[in-house]
């Protein structure tokens, strides 16, 4: 079927709103050097680290740092920072590096992103309404109308844009892309077709409400992948079940590419000394 002229002329980019700036830092602990220190020196380093991490352990106006003990060979610790902007992320990164503990941490990876909520459901309606009013895409009036729409969504979605890191026992973090190959290219699909697939895809996640909390962050132009995904749960088997079920969905089966997975156990700031 040939789409009507209005639908065919709609911009292909779905609207989205952004919130918290996010950084994941994966670290290796320099255990041999740590063992070489005296008990007194180790205790002082731990005391300083506990004080610094306790100050940001709980969310205050969108600012928070959580610590996870990673399972497997990809690192020992993962620090997850949520901040208001990139300047604050840089301060958090430098603050960690300047701690005495920072001398015994070697980075194995990191990921930079911004909490993102796509509004596929509203995009086509908003675009279509503006074009029916005679507004052409990307004109100043068009941009003003779009910004007004985004402002309303930012206010309505504020709790999701500036989330608190869930106080669950486990986290699963991974980056992902949409396929841009020669035969299958997500970005060549129409806006309406992508919306249809995303609605079906999202229905799977909603079935796991109460078992797992998901926070999606966008990273196109910021890091090596297009999105970062954090899953939080008290039962790690939920990660496997959810992601496995999504593999049968069209969005994942045909268009998704996944990066490395990191799974960690939440560590209270006061317990940092115990895992060192």
Q: How far is residue 246 from each of residues 203, 204, 206, 251, measured CA to CA in Å? A: 10, 7, 12, 8
What pLDDT is stored for residue 9 in this prediction? Answer: 64
If one compares 203 and 26, the residue with the highest pLDDT of the two is 26
- 146-166 pLDDT per residue, tens: 999 999 999 999 999 999 999
Judge whether 87 lies within some domain. Answer: yes
Burial of 9-31, coded b for 16+ CB within 10 Å and e otherwise, reads: ebeeebbbbebbbbbbbbbbbee
- Asked, for residue 6, whether it belongs to a domain, the answer is no
- Strand pairing partners for 185? 180
Position 7 scores a pLDDT of 53
Q: Is residue 220 part of a domain?
A: no
Q: From the candidates 104, 127, 170, 174, which is the catalytic residue? A: 174
| Cβ 6 vs Cβ 132: under 8 Å | yes
Instruction: Look at residue 245 and tell me if it is in a domain.
Output: no
Residue (of 101, 103, 110) closest to 81 by Cα position? 110
The whole domain housing 62 covers 19-115
pLDDT at 2: 46
Query: Mind listing the pLDDT tens digit for each residue in 251-269?
Result: 999 999 999 999 999 999 9
Q: Residue 96 maps to which CATH number?
A: 3.30.70.1030
Task: Of 105-114, 184-193, 196-205, give the range with the top mean pLDDT.
Answer: 105-114
Known catalytic residue at 68: no
Tokens of 182: 């020669």
Model pTM score: 0.92
Q: How many domains does the chain have?
A: 1
């Amino acid at each position: 079927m040939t789409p009507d002229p209005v639908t065919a002329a709609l911009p292909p980019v779905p609207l989205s709103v952004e919130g918290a700036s996010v950084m994941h830092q994966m670290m290796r602990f320099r255990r041999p050097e740590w063992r070489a220190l005296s008990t007194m020196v180790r205790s002082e380093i731990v005391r300083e680290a506990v004080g610094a991490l306790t100050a940001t352990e709980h969310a205050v106006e969108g600012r928070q740092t959580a610590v996870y003990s990673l399972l497997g060979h990809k690192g020992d610790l993962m620090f997850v920072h949520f901040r208001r902007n990139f300047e604050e992320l840089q301060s958090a990164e430098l603050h960690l590096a300047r701690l005495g503990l920072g001398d015994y941490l070697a980075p194995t990876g990191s990921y930079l992103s911004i909490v993102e909520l796509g509004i596929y459901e509203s995009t086509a309606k908003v675009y279509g309404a503006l074009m029916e009013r005679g507004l052409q895409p990307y004109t100043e009036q068009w941009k003003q109308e779009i910004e007004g729409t985004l402002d309303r969504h930012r206010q309505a979605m504020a709790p999701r844009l500036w989330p608190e890191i869930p106080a669950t026992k486990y986290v699963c973090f991974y980056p992902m892309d949409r396929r841009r190959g020669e035969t299958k290219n997500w970005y060549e699909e129409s806006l309406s077709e992508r919306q249809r697939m995303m609605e079906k895809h999202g229905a799977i996640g909603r079935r796991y409400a109460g078992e797992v909390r998901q926070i999606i962050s966008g990273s196109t132009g910021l890091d090596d992948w297009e999105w970062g995904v954090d899953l939080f749960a008290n039962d790690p088997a939920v990660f496997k079940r959810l992601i496995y079920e999504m593999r049968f969905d069209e969005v994942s089966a045909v268009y998704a590419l996944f990066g490395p997975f990191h799974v960690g156990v939440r560590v209270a700031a006061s317990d940092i000394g115990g895992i060192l």
